[in-house]
Amino acid sequence: MISKSVSDKPVKTRKSGFSSLVLTIVICLITIASIVSISLVQIQSKKINELENRIQLEEKQGKIEVFGRFFIANFYTGKSENIIDFLSSEMKTEGLELKKGVQAQSTIYESLTESQDIIQVTFVILQQKTRIILKRLE
């Protein structure tokens, strides 16, 4: 009986060493999977925020385009009183070079970009004096 109990002890040590190794590997795999999951969630969250911002900008696009077209039409009249309604209370018409003697033949919306709460709109304006001139207004 003594020899049996002595031979059983090394077998138990091997089993406990093996189970300890398996447990360590499982814990490492779970940790790695958790880190990968967290990073993927952060990437998806960033993409969702970018898409939401783009959707909001596209929702504003129609209003901005209409505002731009009316502003340009009034800007090309050459009369400062026509553009007062388009300016904020902080802005003044002084120093604003209105177009006189030039007619905006056509206004074409080109692009809309936003960065740091500044929206930049680009229109292509076809002017007519004595000859047709194509001008890009940003």
Residue range 4-32, pLDDT digits in tens: 544 444 545 566 788 889 999 999 999 99
Whether 38 is in a domain gets the answer: yes
Whether 134 is in a domain gets the answer: no
Low-confidence ranges of the chain (pLDDT < 50): 1, 5-9, 11
Domain that holds residue 92: 2-100
Whether 133 is in a domain gets the answer: no
How far apart (Å, rounded) are the C-alpha atoms in residues 78 and 97? 9
pLDDT value for 29:
96
Whether 84 is in a domain gets the answer: yes
pLDDT value for 133:
64
Structural domain count, the chain: 1
For the record, the structure tokens of 128 come out as 């007519």
pLDDT value for 23:
93
For the record, the structure tokens of 125 come out as 């304006």
Whether 31 is in a domain gets the answer: yes
How far apart (Å, rounded) are the C-alpha atoms in residues 62 and 66? 6
pLDDT value for 137:
64
Task: Give the 3-state secondary structure of residue 134.
Answer: strand
Question: How many Cβ atoms from other residues are within 10 Å of residue 57's Cβ?
Answer: 14
How far apart (Å, rounded) are the C-alpha atoms in residues 88 and 90? 5
